Structure 1
Amino acid sequence: MFRLQPKASAALILGHPGHELRVYGWIRFIRPLTFVITDGSGASGISRLDTTTQLLNHLGSPIGTVYGRFTDEAIYETMLARSLEPLCEVVESIASALIDAEIEIVASDASEGYNPTHDICFELTQAAVELVRKRTQRAIRRYSFCLTEWEGCVPSQIDGEAIHLKLDDTCLNEKVEAARSYVELRDEVDRAIECKGIEYFRNEALIPSTGWTTAPEDYKAGYELRGEQRVVEGKYAQVLRYNDHLLPIFRGLRHYVDQN
């Protein structure tokens, strides 16, 4: 088991505000520099960044240079358009901040095929870490954490190199209270607790990431299936697809890193 020392300089990169709840204990312990790609506004158009800011401030976790850069609608449109420039700007901003803060460890959302923004977050993080390595010849230890493992979306086996935390009763109670107080996510929190029980959230794991996202040629992400249903229901005009939209962006980011 890898044991993380409090003095380690760490960063956390999230696709949506609220994801910090999944690694509440790790944040409380390490106080990472935290970046959030979107504002979590969803279909309502109402940002939930303020709630996350309050929680991060409470935990003493500083906020990074990218924080709610996109609305959820904007990141969705960016992916549909396969627009690379704004995403490369995010990569540059994060990479510069990682260099300036001499970050040693980075954790991000896992790429699970559940939500395209989570997967984009994973790839943007990988691109930023690769830029740091190219420009400083310094490797950053790279981890991700699952957001939907109870739905079977585990990206890789948790092994001995993972960072494991088992929260004590005080920290677990704080985590559950913080989750239940996150008004914008109350329904999701209630479903998660009902599904797994409070004790499940005592354990946190950050899984070593081996590099860029990979998928077989016939891969179909879970968000495609849900998108197809929403098109039928008249809620979406177009389905966001891995091969048509996400993969070209991923390839573009890798090319950008190679050239810079």
Structure 2
Amino acid sequence: MKPLLLIAHPGHELRIFQWVYQTRPHVVVLTNGDGSIGQPRLEHSRQLLDPIGVQIREDWLASVPDSGIYNALLGTAPSPFQAWLRSLIDIGMQGHFDTVVADQAEGYNPSHDLCRVMANCLVRALRQSGRSIRSLEFPLIGHSCDPARQHEVEEEVTLTGAELAHKLSIMHLYASSTSKTLERELQTMLETFGEASFARECLYPAARTPYESNELPPNMPEFERIGEERFKAGIYRNVIRTKHLRQLAQDMLNKN
């Protein structure tokens, strides 16, 4: 039985690429990764994963543009979230996966945090139905294997020198081929943590988010801070706030 890898954006699979190569998970991607420039990168991920026998399961969930996520969170467009969750619950009940691996909620991007909320609600519903499901998460912005969290690691993959070199080359090529934003993010992570940090891929037990507890995060999320700045600058008409994710989480918990 394969794991389910549930990610918000194409490209997140690169963060744990060796794990993906070894386990060949089902991959579900919430968005096509077009961002603000309107250039989807889902096809880049498909071209990366197909040769290693990993399928993006668009038959399970059809990805939408990033704006579709944002507008649905703001309530200015129909929400696909309940239908997505219901579909994944039904697939999980058919026994297609016994592990859910998904983005960690780091307060960096609302779609990342939404993905974690969906994963948690999916696992909760399956467990309540009697399924034994592991629930794991991995960081996208933080250290791949933070030494301070070593005691928390549930699953770890250590890359050889050749595997690390291959992974780094793929990450650079993917970023340069798709998005200046990805290039900047990759460069920031390399400067912050160093290339060697990518030689370990750690999966942690999934944490419950403040959104599910209907609480405020301890600090203002980065996406809300940036949203406020761009709203004041006249770039954004609306700001996605923690209240939007809290309301979504409560709706998912109450209806599933």
TM value normalised by structure 1 = 0.86
1:129 paired residue among 103, 123, 129: 123
Cα distance in 2 between the residues matched to 1:178 and 1:147: 16
Cα distance in 2 between the residues matched to 1:212 and 1:127: 11
Counterpart amino acid of residue 113 in structure 2: D
Kept after mapping to 2: 8 A contact 1:21/1:179: yes
Cα distance in 1 between the residues matched to 2:231 and 2:252: 29
Counterpart of 1:94? 88
Counterpart of 1:21? 14
Counterpart amino acid of residue 188 in structure 1: E
Once the two structures are TM-superposed, the CA of residue 216 in structure 1 deviates from its matched residue by: 4.3
> Which is strand-richer, 1 or 2?
1
Q: Between Structure 1 and Structure 2, how many residues are aligned?
A: 245
Correspondence 1:40-59 to 2 at 5 A:
40-59=33-52
Change (3 A) 1:210 1:180: closer
Counterpart of 1:61? 54
Kept after mapping to 2: 8 A contact 1:39/1:68: no
DSSP 3-state at the match of 1:69 = coil
Counterpart of 1:171? 163
96-105 vs 46-55, which moves further: 96-105
Counterpart of 1:246? 245
Kept after mapping to 2: 8 A contact 1:84/1:253: no
2:173 paired residue among 175, 181, 186: 181
Change (3 A) 1:134 1:148: same
Once the two structures are TM-superposed, the CA of residue 248 in structure 1 deviates from its matched residue by: 0.5
Change (3 A) 1:171 1:97: farther
Q: Is the aligned partner of 1:255 residue 2:254?
A: yes
Change (3 A) 1:237 1:82: closer
1:73 paired residue among 62, 67, 75: 67
What root-mean-square deviation, in Å, do the aligned CA atoms of Structure 1 and Structure 2 show? Answer: 2.4
Once the two structures are TM-superposed, the CA of residue 16 in structure 1 deviates from its matched residue by: 0.6
Counterpart of 1:190? 187
Kept after mapping to 2: 8 A contact 1:39/1:47: yes
Unmatched tracts of structure 2, length 5 or more: none
223-232 vs 100-109, which moves further: 100-109
Kept after mapping to 2: 8 A contact 1:11/1:32: yes
Counterpart amino acid of residue 240 in structure 1: I
Cα distance in 2 between the residues matched to 1:108 and 1:238: 27
Counterpart amino acid of residue 234 in structure 2: G
Cα distance in 2 between the residues matched to 1:215 and 1:161: 27
What does the per-residue CA deviation read over 1:169-202, in whole Å, with 9 as the maximum and x for residues that have no partner? 2221221111011111333323322332211100
Counterpart of 1:205? 202
Seq. identity, %: 28
DSSP 3-state at the match of 1:205 = strand
Cα distance in 2 between the residues matched to 1:170 and 1:101: 36
247-256 vs 165-174, which moves further: 165-174
Kept after mapping to 2: 8 A contact 1:17/1:39: yes
Counterpart amino acid of residue 181 in structure 1: L
TM value normalised by structure 2 = 0.87
DSSP 3-state at the match of 1:143 = strand
Counterpart amino acid of residue 148 in structure 1: I
Counterpart of 1:225? 225
Show structure 1 runs of 4+ deviating over 6 A: none
Kept after mapping to 1: 8 A contact 2:158/2:201: yes
Counterpart of 1:139? 132
DSSP 3-state at the match of 1:204 = strand
